[in-house]
Structure 1
């Protein structure tokens, strides 16, 4: 039996109660593989952004024992460019090698402490402009749900905390365990797309003139070659109108969305089948194994073989 992985959640004043509870709810559903503790910077009760405070059982000393530290979000009125002294002292307790995770505005703490300098990161899209102004040294990407940069992970707002915690379980123990946890929490084990689909855009009414029909047709026919013209014809629109409406409704271009769906379908097949890479490529509409490898590496930075080995164990070289 592997040692229990300790997750310590660092709650700060103004914390959002929902996100504060996400690590405990998700990690503790993994059949004893994780232990979750909650602490504050001084061991005192923490004010939430709601009409109540929370009493925590631990002070910053708990951070010394953490394998993973999670900083949940707090109200934007408490966001600052500099780390308060108490927070600096608390972060100094984190052991070298511990994994750091932020949810939403928690990324401001990591950035202000210099822990994101030169690294990719994300935060809630509503505070992305402020974050970029304050911390230009961070490679901010506000379009994704979370970013895994090895020992530092950052996620977007609210439910993306669920996404990053499930991702960590998948990374630590494989997709079978992560899927089981997701079922227990009644959440999807993996959400398609990124923050772009949640950014506030003027979205047209869902009418027969929308692009939903074309998207559904595309998902049912991913194995077939298809062009922007094909998609536009299924929506009975001109190319220009279709591209504009699609981006308004989905938050990304048709081409980018189609590649994303094919990559996601390929990942599912890599996780759940022993099909050769070339066959998977054909089933999801890529020209061949080389094309699938290129798109998968662009999306998640690994080869099909490495991805399959991570989530299904060592397989024969033919896969």
Structure 2
């Protein structure tokens, strides 16, 4: 493998890892606050891509406008899902909310099949993302650079919200002790709804960029990326935003580079993530940056 090919694979790893990281952040934010694995999160990934498709196809919206509207609509849908499916179960056993999340996931997936149909659809890609750039013998599509740069901007925006705003302070307080946060006057339900909205927005952004990179839409497109992003969150330490980013980037690197060095294993590409999950659960269940949490009775 020459240096140009190696750099190309590294850029591909960065692109794929950035997409996993965005989705993993949504998983880890909800878990950090509610100790809930939101299985419906992968459907937000899928819906974001479909909303852009229909915005361009039906409303003839410019791609950037369709993307912004799709992210806002998906974020709103994430808040609605919290209010309908999770808020009534705040005081119920955690298994009830977990079952509810599985139900919401199947519901949204089947609604998408009914309304969007199961036929795979092609995705419109802006021309400026397809004109290759030649850098030192490396042929790079602008999309390969656009995805990690936009992902980085979204991650920095999230970090600013979490560590520089009152809403972020509320998120961090609730993640430590939700009962005490209630007593201190923190608007817990509003903060949780905001968390679902932000997580859904990040999933939508990732789904939109995924559809640009792998230009085919179908209602089950979020399933495998959702599972892999969850594994990335576990690997990095679920509940840690920084851990989710590290886990996503690491998983993208492992996938791309393993296939690059061992092409015969390309058919087992999806299995690498699950092997990583088993290894993490065996040797470091809390992940790289995760903390051991005590379950409350």
Q: Greater RCO between the two (CA within 8 Å, min separation 6)? A: 2
Q: Higher helix fraction: Structure 1 or Structure 2? A: 2
| Higher normalized strand content (fraction of residues) | 1
TM-score, normalised to structure 2, is 0.24
Larger Rg: 1
